[in-house]
Amino acid sequence: MELGSVKTDPAGKATVERAPPKRQPTVQDLLRHTAGFPYGGTRRDHELIKLWPAGSVDSAFTYSGPEFLEKLSQLPLQHEPGTVWDYSVAVDVQGFIVEAVTGKSLSAFLEERIWKPLDMADTSFSVPEGKKARYALAFANDPVSGKPQSIPHASGKPIKFDCGGGCAVSTALDYLRFAQMLVNGGTLDGKRLLSRKTIELMASDQLAPDVRARTTNGILNEGYSFGLGFAVRSQTGIAPVAGTTGDYNWGGAYGTFFWIDPKEEMAVVYMVAAPGEARVRLRTLVRNMVLQSIAD
């Protein structure tokens, strides 16, 4: 892939120039979101970022897997790989790598390796016809902004590829079984899915101090860094919410949230259909309520 930069002429017209990056993105870059990819679309005001897909779910409704990969391969990198953290379509690319290595669809691989062993019977990349009545819908308007809101899955429109970045659906019980497996160091009900050391690697700080300092998009809270797929608490203070150094978490596209506190041996799963601005407030509220209830 090529590195992009924006040049503006005297008349104010912006053009994107390309040049070879110092190195290509690695799998580790994809896992920790330092590949140089952004999420783009019209929601971002930078000419380079606008070229990138606005979201994983929208892309899965629009493109087939090969079409999406071809589109990504033609786009310029926003940053030199390894230098800036920016949450992005990297999760979707991870899914394509899994498919290439295993020769299976992402959904088939996850069913075999995670969902079936953990008895996650209500987890998939689509809502089966017989379960659609159970699918939680969002309020018509966001309680904070008042703006209209919806969840694309509720339309019943099929996705064209298994997008790891926002297309999975599940229940609180299924999600909690996955989270409890992480708390247990990789096992649940006598079945081992991951080694303890693998989880320690995933939940360790993967960002160098200079990379963390360049994270300015507001997604990572103060006091947090990033591991291999999770936000990781790097210190007790500074963060705007209570917690424990070493706890890790991440949220879903439409309001869901989970976190693991290894020291407290605690897993929390919060499920809500809130794709708008309310989701951040609700996550903070629930987190504070849970932690304030701890009474040693």
CA distance 84 to 35: 8
- Residue 49 within any structural domain of the chain: no
Sign of CA dihedral 75, 80, 81, 86: negative
- Domain of 206, in residue numbers: 137-152+170-292
Distance (Å) of CA 104 to CA 99, 107, 166, 285, 288? 5, 8, 19, 40, 41
Strand-pair partners of 231:
226, 249
Q: Which DSSP letter does residue 2 get?
A: -
Domain total for the chain? 1
Q: Which residues of the chain carry a pLDDT beneath 50?
A: 216
Specify which residues 24 forms β-bridges with. Answer: none
DSSP state of 148: B
CA–CA dist 112, 97 (Å, integer): 17
Residue 148, in any domain of the structure: yes
249 in a domain, yes or no?
A: yes
In a domain, 78, yes or no: no
Rounded Cα distance between 239 and 262, Å, is: 18
Residue 204 lies in a domain: yes
What CATH number does the domain containing 287 carry?
3.40.710.10
Alpha helices in 139-224 (DSSP H): 172-183, 196-202, 209-213
User: For residue range 21-53, what is the model confidence (pLDDT) as tens digits?
Assistant: 999 999 999 999 999 998 876 555 577 778 888
In a domain, 190, yes or no: yes
Are 164 and 91 within 8 A, CB to CB? yes
CA 110 vs CA 30, 114, 124, 142: distances in Å: 18, 5, 9, 32
pLDDT at position 221: 82
The per-residue pLDDT for 213 is: 59
Residue 87 domain flag: no
